Amino acid sequence: MKVLVLNCGSSSLKFQLIETDEQTAREGTDRTLAKGLVEDTGGTATLHYEAEGRKPLRDAIGAFQHKTAVEKALAVLTDPETGVIPHKDEIGAVGHRVVHGGERFKTSVLIDEGVIDGIEANIALAPLHNPANLQGYRAARAVLPDAPQVAVFDTSFHQTMPPEAYLYALPYDQYQRFGIRRFGFHGTSHRFVSGRAAVLLGRPLDDPGLRLITCHLGNGASVCAIRGGRSVDTSMGFTPLEGLVMGTRCGDLDPAALLYLMGREELGAAEASALMNKRSGLLGLSGLSHDMRTLLEAEEKGNDRARLAIDVFCYRLRKYIASYVGALGGVDALVFAGGIGENSPPVRERSLHGLDALGLTADPARNEAARGTEAEISPDGARSRVFVIPTDEELLIARDSFRIVSGLSGL
């Protein structure tokens, strides 16, 4: 089946056409036929597009709108010069990345009116993302009225967390009245790489004794503790702000420090939020960049603040990994994924520093060689294995969509 995967922001639409079925999903041979991005570039929108065996395309279109963006995507996908399918009816399903499923959505679902109500009910929890995801859905339904549409949530994988992991130690009625709890995000990525790790270990993912720790390290970053294929803890919380140091987000912070700062600097809620979400993390610490590659290059040239930012990033990650070994009572494999996890040997090496006591260590040559491809970086005979696994959230969205539309169980 050909599945169109959509990831919509308020002024951008990422699309990917993926061919998948039961056998290719099992073998990992499902293929991306084409992918593209339509994004607002200051009043007008620009399309970037690439497809198997075609010249990459860049095109300016009018003002950004989700519906015109979907129409444009379908136009290039079906065009005789640029396209990979003769007609839009070839698309068997549309899979949407939806950021927040709250407590209601514990798995991916076929979208119907009730599901739309549920996504709308979670807008308060993801005010920027869920409305954009719904706009993407409405645009796709208008342009592809016959294709079934599926929602795949960033949060649903973590709905298996037990109360001791998802509750904050606030008065319990804050959870009951306002739903203040930890949700976790990046679930699709953690689920994808944990599935690959189980394959590499030669063990069934749902083996209740299988303990995995997965690190998704991109501009946003989170760690997940997984037992028997189920998330039991993760570092992001009520919002994606909690946990690790990220490109521009501070991660864990004493809330009293923020209250103090708000008083000292006379910051309102919006300014305080921008401080923590947009001006902190690697960017805030280094004063230079949110981008790990830039910081590693600057560190090489002797930039002390770049080194400091990378040190805080790696130290925080190391603490989370160690605490999740404790949460799981041991670990069979640790996975690095995301732009940083997949491509940066020094960050992996520094994050594992001192964890050999817990059975986690990297072989220097294997670590150095693993860049952007699936690889084992632990030494032969290690107590716990360490893998680099390129994540592929779109592929998992396509597979979920195919299985749901085909009425297959066992997501």
Residues catalogued as catalytic: 154
Nearer to ligand AMP, 82 or 343 (CB): 343
Nearer to ligand AMP, 99 or 161 (CB): 99
Nearer to ligand AMP, 24 or 219 (CB): 219
Closest-CA residue to 125 (of 164, 72, 84, 180)? 180
Closest-CA residue to 194 (of 145, 237, 146, 158)? 158
User: Least CB distance from residue 342 to ligand AMP, whole Å?
Assistant: 8
Q: How many CB atoms are closer than 10 A to CB 43?
A: 8
Question: What residue number has its CB nearest to ligand AMP?
Answer: 339
User: Least CB distance from residue 292 to ligand AMP, whole Å?
Assistant: 4
User: Least CB distance from residue 338 to ligand AMP, whole Å?
Assistant: 4
Torsion, Cα 326 332 338 340, to 10 degrees, reads: 70
Q: Which residues of 71-89 are buried (b: 16+ CB within 10 A; e: fewer)?
A: bbbbebbbeeebbbbeebe
Nearer to ligand AMP, 291 or 374 (CB): 291
Q: How many CB atoms are closer than 10 A to CB 276?
A: 20
User: Least CB distance from residue 85 to ligand AMP, whole Å?
Assistant: 28
CA distance 174 to 157: 23
Nearer to ligand AMP, 26 or 293 (CB): 293
Residue length of the chain: 411
User: Least CB distance from residue 219 to ligand AMP, whole Å?
Assistant: 4
User: Least CB distance from residue 52 to ligand AMP, whole Å?
Assistant: 22
Closest-CA residue to 282 (of 254, 244, 253, 334)? 244
CA distance 116 to 134: 8
CA distance 199 to 382: 18
| Contacting positions for ligand AMP (CB under 6 A) | 218-219, 247, 291-293, 296, 338-340, 343-344
Nearer to ligand AMP, 195 or 345 (CB): 345
Handedness of CA 224, 227, 230, 233 (dihedral sign): negative
Answer for the pair 23, 54: CB distance below 8 angstroms, yes or no.
Answer: no
